[in-house]
Amino acid sequence: MTSNAFPELPIAVIGAGPVGLAAAAHLLERGRTPLVLESGAQAGAAILEWAHVPLFSPWRYTVDVASRRLLEAEGWMEPDLESIPTGGDLVREYLAPLAAHRGLAPHIRYAARVIGVARRDMDKVRSVGRGRRPLVVRVQSDSGVEDIEVAGVIDASGTWRTPNPVGAGGLPAQGEEGAAHWLAGPLPDVLGRDREAHAGRATLVIGMGHSAANTLLALDELASGSPGTEIVWAIRGRSPRRLYGGAESDELPARGAIGTRLREAVDAGRIRLVTDFSVSRLEPTDDGRLAVHGARDGQVLVVDRLAAATGFRPDLDMLREVRLDLDPALECPRALGPLIDPTVHSCSTVEPHGADLLAHPESEVYVVGMKSYGRAPTFLLATGYEQVRSVVAAMTGDAASAARVDLLLPATGVCCATAGAGGC
């Protein structure tokens, strides 16, 4: 059965980020009505919280094909394909005009948070006739809570609002809940909005991803003009080599350059690197600073701010009543897990994948975009756009187009995959 079983009902898209809007554009092209539900006040609400951060992908990889067709029909001028947008540019120059497009705008509701998805009048346990019932999304807005019947659900709600805790074990570190005053979030704007909190002070950055690298490089720039600014970078492993990346071998030069600049700042001693450090406890000091205790005896770093770039996890609560088949570690679709597991495979050359791989036992429910990668960090927009093209084809009954996935992603130039483990 496809969403065509309920042609009169819309297909819900959760989230008006780049992938959600792309899904809506593909639905419109195929003659279906999207209902985009966005918890924020505008499209790209999550990205606006990291508006100051430059992407590593040039525009070439950040615009979806169906969205481009919609925009170009209204005279939109695509930015220079080789230039690199910031998060803010992405929203201003692409997502905002797309969301305002007269074909799409009537189908987007803002300040509408999805809090649940279910099969109409059938809890998760009941099987008989399940596929013959439409789905229901429960939406919370200023006017209260309502249930809306839909033919299918494409969950593109991202992971930005559910960051991992600082605690290395996945649970908050002891004292983490009471340490909000010192926690700067995953990507503080240290050269702009949050400058005062970091200039002339000591900031500890935790993490081994591009978010950590971005914050470290911004702090390095801040330190060059603000005496007394100290930068400490703590990682759980023994070596930062993976984040230093593939340098010139990276097919996205901006991504390669981040690692190269970071290595230079560490080698020059401007960033103090602490390896083998897993946070176990946070404790305020008598002089108003934060003591960050490591799991090993005697490990303690005393700082003014802590930027925990420890990654993100999907919010699965709203999907509790539908039947999902998830990888037990990564919380992504089970079949996708081996392709993106960061402990096996660190580069972004993920095999192209679409509806087949993303399908769950609950028919007509797909998780796409950043959220489809669960806890894996290597998601790229180009992957998400190909996912929704294929998913929308499947939902609208075009099995041949759904099966034809062909996407070549730019490689990082480094992969930690071991031979025979599905790596490069």
Ligand X SMILES: Cc1cc2nc3c(=O)[nH]c(=O)nc-3n(C[C@H](O)[C@H](O)[C@H](O)COP(=O)(O)OP(=O)(O)OC[C@H]3O[C@@H](n4cnc5c(N)ncnc54)[C@H](O)[C@@H]3O)c2cc1C
Q: Interface with ligand X by CB under 6 A: which residues?
A: 14-20, 37-40, 45-47, 50, 53, 55-57, 61, 113-114, 156-158, 160-161, 187, 211, 318, 369-370, 379-381, 384
Tokens of 81: 């394909």
Residue located via tokens 């991803």: 209
- Does the CA dihedral 27-33-38-44 come out positive or negative? positive
Nearer of residues 97 and 397 to ligand X, judged by Cβ: 97
Nearer to ligand X, 140 or 174 (CB): 140
Dihedral (CA of 409, 414, 416, 422) sign: positive
Report in angstroms how near the CB of residue 21 gets to ligand X at its nearest: 8
Residue 12 CB, shortest distance to ligand X, in Å, is 10
CB of residue 282 to ligand X, shortest distance in Å: 23
Shortest distance, CB of residue 9 to ligand X, whole angstroms?
19
Q: Which residue has the closest beta carbon to ligand X? A: 17
* CB nearer to ligand X: pick between 156 and 190: 156
CB of 404 to ligand X, least distance (A): 22
CA-to-CA dists, residue 252 to 18, 53, 180, 245, angstroms: 20, 16, 36, 11
* CB 286, min distance to ligand X, A: 35
The first and second tokens of residue 201, run together, are 């002070």
User: Distance between CA atoms of 133 and 126, rounded to whole angstroms?
Assistant: 12
Smallest gap from Cβ 182 to ligand X, in A, equals: 21
* 64 vs 362 by CB, closer to ligand X: 64
Identify which of residues 17 and 413 has a Cβ nearer to ligand X in the complex: 17
Among the listed residues 353, 314, 352, the one whose alpha carbon sits nearest the alpha carbon of residue 14: 314
The residues, any chain, with a CB within 8 Å of residue 163's CB and separated by 6 or more, are 185, 186, 308, 310, 311, 312, 313
**98 or 301: whose CB is closer to ligand X?**
98
User: Is 86 or 226 the residue whose CB approaches ligand X more closely?
Assistant: 86
Strand order in the sheet with 272-274: 272-274, 230-234, 202-206, 305-308
Q: Which of 163, 160, 153 is nearest to 116 (CA)?
A: 153
**CB-wise, 198 or 371, nearer to ligand X?**
371
* Least Cβ distance, residue 384 to ligand X (angstroms): 5
Q: Is the dihedral of CA 276, 280, 282, 283 positive or negative?
A: negative
Q: Among residues 105 and 421, whose Cβ is nearest to ligand X?
A: 105
Provide, rounded to whole angstroms, the least separation between the CB of residue 110 and ligand X: 9
Map residue 135 onto helix, strand or coil.
strand
Taking the least distance from each CB to ligand X, the nearer of 191 and 295 is 191
Whole-number Å distance between alpha carbons of 137 and 118: 7
Using the 8-state DSSP alphabet, how is residue 400 labeled?
H
* Per-residue 3-state assignment (H helix, E strand, C coil) for 195-218: HHHHCCCEEEEECCCHHHHHHHHH
- The Cα–Cα gap between 218 and 225 comes to 12
Q: Backbone phi, then psi, for 143, in 5-degree steps? A: -90, 10
Shortest Å, Cβ 178 to ligand X? 26
Query: Which is it for strands 230-234 and 202-206: parallel, antiparallel or unpaired?
Result: parallel
